[in-house]
Chains A and B, each alone.
Chain A
Amino acid sequence: MKAIYGLYADPHVAQKAVNNLRAAGVTDADITVISSEPFEHFEFGHRDAKTAMPWIATAAGAVGLLLTYYLLGASQRSWPLITAGMPIAPNWTNLIIIFEMTMLSAIIATVITLLVTAGIPSRGGRMYDPEVSDGYILVGVENPADASKLEPALAIDGGRVKTT
């Protein structure tokens, strides 16, 4: 994989590099920003923020609720156990298990959505630099059409440009 990227100590400069890449005609989808912490206060930190994760979790919770309601009732009627004058399938007590399964479904769906949409686990091979772990912010483009054209956009304010 070919790539060109800059490493920046300052998030303001990283933001400027992102803006420069855009000005050079690189689309947002092709710009990669990698950091060792989230940068909520910077515009580049809000790229790709849109997600259906809350809706997926809610839907999974609803599915868990309905499935547990059905399975509990069905199994209680299939193996009827008479206990202390209670109905065979009492909603009061079933509600406890239904609640737990609803929440568990939502939690598991959230984790699966995270893994799928964040692209993890991955086997590597993508653009990365271990200096990110020291606090540097990586701004770059994977498989650029012409890396030399992008170098001026990244070589700003002390940023170090690397190509692979």
Chain B
Amino acid sequence: MNRTLNKPLADDLVRPLFNTSVWFYAVVLAAGTVVACGALAWGFQLWYGIGLSGKRWPTFWALYLTNFVFWIGISHAGTLISAILRLVNATWRRPVTRCAEVITVFALMIGAMFPIIHLGRPWLAFWLFPYPSAREIWPNFRSPLAWDFFAINTYLTGSVLFLFLPMIPDFALVRDRSTGWRRKVYGTLSFGWRGTTKQWNRLEMAMQIMAIAILPVAVSVHTIVSFDFSMANVPMWHSTIFGPYFVAGAIFSGIAGLIIAMAALRKALHLEHYLLPMHFENLGKLLLLMSILWAYFVFNERLTVWYGNEPHEMAVFWATQRGQYAPLYWTMVVGNFVLPMAILTNSKTRTILGCVIASCGVVVGMWLERFLIVVPSLTHKQLPYSWGTFSPTPVELFITAATFAAMLLLYTLFAKFVPIISIWELKAGDFVHAPQAGVVTADPHRIDAAPASSSPGAAS
């Protein structure tokens, strides 16, 4: 009996590594230019001083903290979702996991830069790191910022490993198909992987253990980010709901980011046979669920504040509901709730395009949510004499735009040098590529499947 070999599948998925389209250079050039502008803006800030950012009394954190929380939230797209789907053995996850895990690593790297960008003298950033020093400065482990350091670094380390380990067999596959410098590079990255049964068993066991370990870490990261706010006695920050509220929001924005990234990859790398409408449909349903959950948390938070009627909290409440921040607040509500509800509740509009439109609304809405958590509270503290206003400066706006461009740039480069869909996981699932039919069919090699006859292109 013959079985369909997976050569066409592997050929399809490693093709982007060997062929470069003009679009790749266009995207790298455009995104690289914006990143360079952002770096230049940061250079200006370093040269002329931190006053060039919008950081001034009473809003000492503004867009930088907004971006920090937003990108840490986006990072929940990957490892968390991938780990959940891996543990529940959802077979449809196989083409999705790597696309998602990459987002986590890059979003964490971008988010973790903001505490450094926020510093006036970033070359002294190591003063913040918890290590014994000769300066007799000992970090205060009771500070939420010290907790951030441990949580983000643990999550970043775990996520990089969680992403890298399943890439080793795919590097070996690319090694076997390469010549010259590529063979050397991929040979090194593949760690001499052969694919013995022992290696497969160890790898799968390691991924299971890491999925179990990384889940609570992912939840803890955004809970701890929320503690940056809720441990402070600032109006509408000192709330017990912030932990789960932030985690839900992070998963929400993460799924939206994942849908946008998958749609872009599908189009740019011609992955229509692998990233199927079914994947977007499932992620769309998850996005809808998270939208409802987000609305539930917002309602809880708002109702409690309104019912409590504390004057200093009500000042923030009304500033966002019908004051100067109301346009942003209601845009957030439309982006995070109205738009997803309108599009994703109807199976006819829950298409790839529909999911992407809803996701774009969510990304905008979640960025605004982070902004509305940070700025209105800082400009309306307990004593009215400390009230102020905030308007972003060009430096902040350039750096903010550069983070989005950096994500695009890093993602594009990654997809150029690494198979963006895990080839071995796709093979191991119940999928075999059938390009002639344009569909993915059940793998006939399973021991419990009926014997399959030789198909065109099958090797004997």
Contacts and interface: CB of A to CB of B under 8 A. Distances in A.
Interface stretch (B42-50, B213-221, B245-253): B213-221
A152 B156 CA distance: 52
A97 B146 contact: yes
B276 interface: no
Contact of A103 (B154, B194, B196): B154
B60 interface: no
B205 A48 contact: no
Contact of B201 (A48, A54, A123): A48
B200 A35 contact: yes
A61 B196 CA distance: 29
Contact of B10 (A81, A93, A134): A134
Interface of A: 9-13, 32-42, 44-49, 51, 53-54, 57, 61, 72, 75-76, 79, 81, 83-84, 86, 90, 93-94, 96-97, 99-101, 103-104, 106-108, 110-111, 113-115, 117-124, 126, 128, 130, 132-136, 157-158
Contact of A76 (B141, B165, B427): B141
Contact of B192 (A32, A34, A99, A122): A122
B141 A94 contact: yes
Interface in B129-166: 132, 136, 138, 140-142, 146-147, 150-151, 153-154, 157-158, 161, 165
Contact of A33 (B3, B197, B460): B197
A89 to B, nearest CB: 9
19 contacts: A9-B460, A10-B1, A10-B2, A13-B1, A32-B196, A34-B195, A35-B195, A37-B200, A38-B203, A39-B197, A40-B428, A41-B447, A48-B197, A103-B213, A104-B158, A108-B157, A110-B213, A111-B165, A123-B192
Interface of B: 1-3, 5-7, 10, 132, 136, 138, 140-142, 146-147, 150-151, 153-154, 157-158, 161, 165, 168-169, 172-173, 176-177, 191-206, 209-210, 213-214, 216-217, 220, 224, 424, 427-428, 445-448, 458-460
Contacts, number: 198
A107 B157 contact: yes
Given A9-B3, A86-B142, A158 B460 contact: yes
Given A44-B197, A81-B138, 6 more contacts: A10-B2, A35-B195, A35-B200, A103-B217, A104-B154, A118-B202
Contact of A122 (B3, B191, B448): B191
A99 B445 contact: no
A83 B428 contact: no
A107 B214 contact: yes
Contacts of B141: 72, 75-76, 93-94, 97
B198 A48 contact: yes
B4 to A, nearest CB: 8
Contacts of A100: 147, 150-151, 154, 217, 220
A11 B216 contact: no
B192 A124 contact: yes
B5 A12 contact: no
Contact of A107 (B5, B7, B191, B213): B213
Nearest to A79: B138
Nearest to B142: A93
A125 B219 CA distance: 44
B197 A10 contact: no
A53 B209 contact: yes
A120 B206 contact: no
Contacts of B200: 35, 37-39, 45
Contact of A135 (B161, B217, B427): B427
